[in-house]
Amino acid sequence: MRKFICLAVLAVSACTTKPLGQSVPTQSGHNMHSARAALGDCVAEAPEGRNAAVIGGYATNILLWGVIIGPAVTAPVQDQLAEQGEIDQVERCMSDRGFKRRTLTQGEQFWLQNAFGTERTRRLDHLVGGGTIETYGT
């Protein structure tokens, strides 16, 4: 009985979406243009992740709760499953291309928000290439 309860809690917790803070894709030797191009290609794969997450959610809950209750448990969180599936698919695609997600610190967010035009582009290029505020301009 404990295993069943643990599996149920795990299945429900897997349905929650992860918060997305402000972040940039990073990879040494790349800039904002190449990261944007890779992201554009990866966004095209988002519907695949969306479908897989929804189908997986229904299948898991049918196995755990049965044919009647399983879909009733999944239906209210279907949109969250789909959204998280899209996010995860884009993350996997970017990772396959060598990029890592780097969540920006509050200082970095402030630093970017207070830059405009070409200066903002230079700062983003620096962060995408793996730099930090401390190494900017060196």
Predicted local distance difference test score (pLDDT) of residue 4: 46
Q: Which domain holds residue 60?
A: 28-101
pLDDT of 95 above 80: yes
Contact criterion met (CB below 8 Å) for 88 and 18 = no
pLDDT of 6 above 50: no
Are 94 and 124 contained in the same domain? no
At residue 137 the predicted structure's pLDDT band, cuts being 50, 70 and 90, is confident
Predicted local distance difference test score (pLDDT) of residue 117: 92
Are 43 and 92 contained in the same domain? yes
In the block, tokens 């930090």 appear at 132
Are 36 and 76 contained in the same domain? yes
What's the average model confidence in pLDDT over 41-55? 96
Distance CA 85, CA 47 (A): 8
At residue 17 the predicted structure's pLDDT band, cuts being 50, 70 and 90, is low
What's the average model confidence in pLDDT over 19-42? 89
126: in domain: yes
Strand partners, 23: 103
Q: Which residues of 97-135 are buried (b: 16+ CB within 10 A; e: fewer)?
A: bebeebebeeebeebbeeeeeeeeeebbbbbbbebebee
pTM over 0.85: no
